[in-house]
Chain A
Amino acid sequence: MRNGTFWLVIGAVGLAFIVLTRLFLTNEYFYFAGYVVIEYIVLSTAWNILGGYTGYTNFGTGAFFASGAYSSAVLHKLPALVHSTFGVTMMPIPLPVMILVGGIVSGAMGLGTGYLTLRLRGVFFAIATLALSIVVQTLIVNWDFVGGSRGIYIIRPALAPISGGYIQYLFTLMTILAVIAVGIARSIERSRLGLGLASIRDDELAAEASGVPTLRLKLVATTISGALMGMAGAPLPYYVTYLDPASSFNLAYAVNSVAMPVIGGMTSWIGPVIGSILLGTIQQVATVTISSALNLLIVGVLLILFVIIAPNGIVGLVRSWRRKRDF
């Protein structure tokens, strides 16, 4: 399928999904739970651009995600700040603008950390990104303007810009983000950039020797990956209405955005999508029916099972099954 066609198809799928859910589902809780699953589609797709395509394991999803969330918190407080210091009345900033800003902030952070850490390989890169998460969290904890360690209450606007409640609005925005993220991931996969990233994953020295500017390509990957994670985090303050460092930097974000592509399959855009729908839904169902503490246990067990039985994820399983059938 050509790229343009693919964008049209996933755009249509996203639109159909939004319209159908709004037509047939009125239960608020569905949107509340569905939002998280779709958020994970964005996060795991973003993670996979660096982790799956380029072969660099990022354990700092929390840092990029929370930076997006906190940039929204800052923008949320900005009108009040402007009013109190300059006496000028400023319109509240709309959420789509916040999402864009969150993307820029986290994208810049991706570029910066990429520059500092991309000389590291394998487990050392993973440790550096985990450390990044702790550094950013420490900064936020000590930043009083956004509530420090106490956290900050965010009051949603009384009315959503589209019909329905605010949670439906958040759900719609996140679905659009997911469509954009998946579209970008797939375009990269089929492009010159994607082939270059894959050559880095396979053998970085050989890639350089073949003329691939490895550092530049890796920086592109960290920037896109970080920006998408930040965009996924930007609506978080309005989703939770109470933003605090402990929950926004939660390790679950990092663990899940690694686990979902691994379970789904890392070499293709569809892997993270399958992984996050599957794992995200199981987690949401388990939260309601059993307990919320069980989430990470489920992830852990599934991760171990997949690493042992199907190291190439569900996509890998399907491919090898097809190959056997064809022979």
Chain B
Amino acid sequence: MAPVDLGSGTGETLLEVTGLGKRFGGFVALDGIDLTIARGERLGLIGPNGSGKSTLVNCLCGTLHNETGTVIFAGKPLNGLIAHERTRMGLARSFQLPKPFHSMNLIDNIRIPLLYTVNARPGHHMTDAAIAERCEELLTHVNLADKARRRPRDLTQVEMRKLELARAVATQPTLLFADEAMAGLSHSEIEEILAVLMRLNEEGITIVLIEHIMSAVMSFSTRLMVLVAGHKIADGPPQEAIRNPEVERAYLGE
């Protein structure tokens, strides 16, 4: 495990969220969230169940539409853009519950983002051979190359999570949201996923890790943001953030 290097970000702002709010009927899921992410950062996003972590990811990725607030990604406003347009701009995500394309083998699972995101960007055109090579490469990165011709139903939980990550990484993102990529995994499996995420970060991908497993978040993140009941209550270096009295109250009670 790489040591925690505080502030590995380059300082250049990649994502800027101001006053983001989302309601479901009368329930306020997110209330005035402000968030700035610098290029190259590893941001940990924690919070109790139902605090709005996944809702925030869904709003940023275009799966849900936030009623208030603005989101600026790489200098461009995202408001009004639908999910696939944001993906093409370089915003990728993995899902909390893996959502593989179950009728296809792993290669085709990876081919979808290559065909529809990478090839859809202006000035990019991968030939069929290049796509096949890249699929192989991406699957090798997550140690799934020997199962390339299998279907997702033949995979174990940890392999399913890796496929989920590989498919997100195939879009060649600049910012990746890993939504509980480690839930339900064993200790060694968590290490495996963390290693994959660390390597992606070293390759230049900014990563937001949404996670319940504190040891994983603490060792991975260069910064920690804490959400409670739709409000941001802490944002800063991980060790400081968890010592914040409000955070302690949220997690441990009065």
Q: Using a CB–CB distance below 8 Å, which chain A residues touch chain B?
A: 192, 195-196, 198-199, 201-203, 205-215, 267
Contacts A202-B103, A211-B120 hold; do A195 and B112 have CB atoms under 8 A apart? Answer: yes
When the two chains form their complex, are residues A214 and B115 in contact, meaning their CB atoms are under 8 A apart? no
Contacts A202-B102, A203-B101 hold; do A210 and B87 have CB atoms under 8 A apart? Answer: yes
Closest 5 pairs between A and B when the two form their complex, measured CB to CB: A211-B117, A208-B83, A206-B99, A202-B101, A211-B116
When the two chains form their complex, are residues A192 and B103 in contact, meaning their CB atoms are under 8 A apart? no
Contact with A along B104-126 (1 / 0, CB 8 A): 10001001110111001000000
A321 to B64, CA, bound (A): 44
With A208-B63, A209-B168 known, 9 other A-B pairs at CB within 8 A are A195-B111, A198-B103, A203-B99, A205-B95, A206-B100, A208-B84, A209-B63, A209-B93, A212-B84
When the two chains form their complex, are residues B115 and A192 in contact, meaning their CB atoms are under 8 A apart? yes
Chain B nearest CB from A190 CB (Å) reads 12
A279 to B92, CA, bound (A): 46
CB closest chain-A residue, reference B164: A206
Is the C-beta of B147 less than 8 angstroms from some C-beta in chain A? no
Contacts A192-B115, A195-B112, A198-B104 hold; do A208 and B87 have CB atoms under 8 A apart? Answer: yes
When the two chains form their complex, are residues A195 and B115 in contact, meaning their CB atoms are under 8 A apart? yes
* Chain B residues, Cβ within 8 Å of A201: 103
When the two chains form their complex, are residues B116 and A212 in contact, meaning their CB atoms are under 8 A apart? yes
A206 to B83, CA, bound (A): 10
CB closest chain-A residue, reference B152: A202
When the two chains form their complex, are residues A202 and B167 in contact, meaning their CB atoms are under 8 A apart? no
Chain B nearest CB from A136 CB (Å) reads 30
Contact of B116 (CB < 8 Å), options: A196, A198, A205: A196
CB closest chain-A residue, reference B58: A205
A206 to B160, CA, bound (A): 14
Chain B nearest CB from A327 CB (Å) reads 14
Chain A nearest CB from B12 CB (Å) reads 25
Within 8 A of A (CB), among B199-233: none
List 18 A–B pairs whose Cβ atoms lie within 8 Å, in order of A's numbering.
Answer: A196-B115, A198-B101, A198-B103, A199-B101, A199-B104, A202-B104, A205-B63, A206-B101, A207-B112, A208-B83, A209-B95, A210-B87, A210-B112, A211-B87, A211-B116, A211-B171, A212-B116, A214-B84
